[in-house]
Amino acid sequence: MTTVSATGVSVWETFDSLRDHLFDQFQDVPYDQTSGLPVDELRQEIEQFLARQPEMPRVLQRAHMYRIVVTRGQIHVDPHDWFVDKLNHGDLMRQIRDGWYEAARDAASAGEDHWNERLEEMGAFRAYYLDLGHISPGWENMLAGGLSGLLAQARQHRQRLGTDATDEQLAFYEAIEIVYEATIALAERFAAQAEALIVQHPEHERRLRTLASLCRRVPAHAPQTLHEALQFAWLMHELIEMEGEYVRSMGHFDRTFFSYYHSDLEAGRLTREQAKELFKFLWFKYYARTRGRDNGKNFVFAGQYPDGTEVTNELTYLALEAYEEMNTPDPKLSVRFTPATEKRLYYRVADLIRRGHNSFVLMNDVPAVEALVQQGKTLPDARFYLPIGCYEPAVEGKEVGCTMNVTFNLAKGVELALHDGQDPLTGEQVGPQTGDPRQFATFEELYQAYTTQMDYMLTRTITYMREHEAMWPQVNPSPLIAGTIDDCLARGQDIGEGGAHYNATGCVGAALANACDSLVALKQAVFEEGRYSMDRILDALAGDYQGQEPMRQYLLHRAPKWGNGEPVADQMARRIADHYCDKVHTFGNGRGGPCQAALFSLTAQWTFGQATGALPDGRHAHEALSPGVGAVSGRDRDGVTALVHSVSGLDFTKTPNGAVLDVTLHPTAVRGADGLDAFVGLIKTFFAQGGYAVQFNVFDVEDLREAQRHPERYASLQIRVTGWSVHFNTLSRYEQDQFILRQTHSL
């Protein structure tokens, strides 16, 4: 195996020396000006084409736009890099798509726009009515035969349909041919440029010849080596995102790439250390994209094959080594655990987390798989799931999940129920009139008002969302990704037309703890004890508890709080969660599939909190809401064991779109061998009791305060924000303060 170039320069063990260069690789890319058209001329060529073909089916218009960009745009091959990817596309396809979307929105649902926009401003929900940002291609489908294999399948299906094929199906198949042939042509362009650069960079001849060889193999053909498979996946990631979708899962890493890795080792083509270096060069690209400031790219490890056997293998641990040595917050790693998962993996992951490498979410396959089965997936398909985005499962190669269409503020229903459907901060009537709460004689009347408000928001918003989903075929035809999804090729239908085998829409419930604590406090203080009248409670909320501190302290500290193992609060949280999930599952989406419930908060804990008034749980107006599916920060006073007991009492088979518990631990709780044992024991206990997913921060609050005072000393300090990790210093001061307010747990 050759490890040096023709000039004697090593081509391996270069990652550390190139780290700064690689970090800036997407900044001011030196595109070869002779290799194609600049962005302005590309735009002009696309606009001229569209003007000449106004009646052409939208999917073909989009395919030709793609063809023009990838065959005519400028490119750049970096002789220091192990992968090619630089195409000067200027986000033209997204920009034109956004214009189409705005035009489609103007022509539909105009009467609902105001209500939905106002409710979003009031923090009632956040919506991506056309969710193009939580999708994954069929990684193993595309790798199995390369793009040539997918083209052959498309032609076979078109021939099978014969004269029965509709115009729409024929247009779809033609679009598949256009985009895949153009993609293969782009790879050939990269290969030619790599070879041409050898004259300028003889010291990198070995690497440049390797890149040229890669591009002549993939993506046209099925990869035969690990390097080819990784190059294939990365290039498709870049091009699918250019086409207009965000690729929110890079696949089941140790399952998909193990055979290539193992074959390379057996044949002597690659060593273990060289494979690890390839991982670093590839993964560092995701970090260079976000620069440590944004939600990362999801890779999943471990779990099970469709037949139920364990995935964990030597590639699992090699990848974890690469991640540890990179010491970056991106990419993010999802680890799937089953009852048969080996102890070694628990300890390896827990040890990384406690040492500050916290880009992990740990998922329990038992409820995750069962939840998917209850939504109609077969058991083998359910076991084939990928976490999309953060922790939202979708079946690889068979499902278009759209997992984040709408996030609902479960606490907003309390506000609306207490104000007869009016938003208290604006005075606007946005919900149904459910009655003056001062006249409610029982808690059940209040609870009925709460669920009526929530059901109304759900029904109206999901109806609006379905109208938007109907725009998908005209707004964002997606042939590049559709060809990798089962049934799209067989049916001749794009993903936006419901061509995939499974088509789901995610509806996330946030701030469960605030809703629970507020209703429990009202139940006890008003309806059971009679300590405070409803009128007095409403006055206190209107004034943000000014002059009512004794009341606020009572509501904060004397009423049961979710996350402490208290039966009253646990039962209420379960009641709210069950109602929300059951209601979501009564809806269908605009692509012939189901709406699926989730329970987590992401950054909605802050954005919703800023638009939510004072609540009966003692929370001041505009404060952050609860993170994940756990307790309000600082209110789980009985320790992490009680928190786990409360959360695992929820029925997570009703959350097929995901759920997560956020836990913050003090470093002393996980220090040493005993601390690591306790940490692993906590994870195992949570899973054994039925918990869905968990993510951790391990920090001393004093260190965070020091990082605020002396950011230059804490440049590498990582924080698990929610579904992703970032460097603490990249957070806003408000976000930093929210982490400082979090209570750490002991074990």
Residues forming beta bridges with residue 385, ordered by sequence position: 395
Instruction: Confirm whether 82 is domain-assigned.
Output: yes
Q: 177: how many CB neighbours lie within 10 A of its CB? A: 17
Look at residue 108 in the predicted model and tell me its pLDDT: 67
Question: What distance in Å separates the CA atoms of residue 683 and residue 692, rounded to the nearest whole number?
Answer: 11
Which pair of structure tokens corresponds to residue 152?
């052959």
Dihedral sign for Cα 128, 129, 133, 135, please.
Answer: positive
Amino acid at the residue 359: S
Look at residue 150 in the predicted model and tell me its pLDDT: 98
Is there a contact between 511 and 619 (Cβ–Cβ < 8 Å)?
A: no
Whether the pTM exceeds 0.85: the reply is: yes
Look at residue 7 in the predicted model and tell me its pLDDT: 46
Instruction: Confirm whether 120 is domain-assigned.
Output: no
Helix 205-217 and helix 226-243: axis angle, to 10°? 70
Element (H, E) at 46: helix 39-52
Question: What distance in Å separates the CA atoms of residue 238 and residue 241, rounded to the nearest whole number?
Answer: 5
Whole-angstrom Cα Rg for the chain:
27
Element (H, E) at 70: helix 58-72
Instruction: Confirm whether 402 is domain-assigned.
Output: no
Closest CA to 367 of 582, 144, 653: 653
Instruction: Confirm whether 88 is domain-assigned.
Output: yes
- Residue 259, SS3 per DSSP: helix
User: What are 579-627's pLDDT values in tens digits?
Assistant: 999 999 999 999 999 999 999 998 889 899 999 999 999 999 999 999 9
Q: 459: how many CB neighbours lie within 10 A of its CB? A: 13
Instruction: Confirm whether 92 is domain-assigned.
Output: yes
Look at residue 421 in the predicted model and tell me its pLDDT: 98
Question: What distance in Å separates the CA atoms of residue 166 and residue 638, rounded to the nearest whole number?
Answer: 63
Pairing of the two strands 505-510 and 125-127: unpaired
Total domains, the chain: 1
Amino acid at the residue 528: E
Closest CA to 66 of 232, 242, 267, 321: 242
Q: Which residues contact 682 (CB under 8 A, 6 or more apart)?
A: 640, 641, 644, 663, 747
Q: Which domain holds residue 87?
A: 1-107+138-246
Look at residue 4 in the predicted model and tell me its pLDDT: 52
Pairing of the two strands 298-302 and 718-720: unpaired
Instruction: Confirm whether 468 is domain-assigned.
Output: no
The segments of the chain whose pLDDT lies below 50 read 1-2, 5-9
Instruction: Confirm whether 83 is domain-assigned.
Output: yes
Is there a contact between 391 and 105 (Cβ–Cβ < 8 Å)?
A: no
Instruction: Confirm whether 621 is domain-assigned.
Output: no
Look at residue 682 in the predicted model and tell me its pLDDT: 97
Which pair of structure tokens corresponds to residue 547?
């002059």
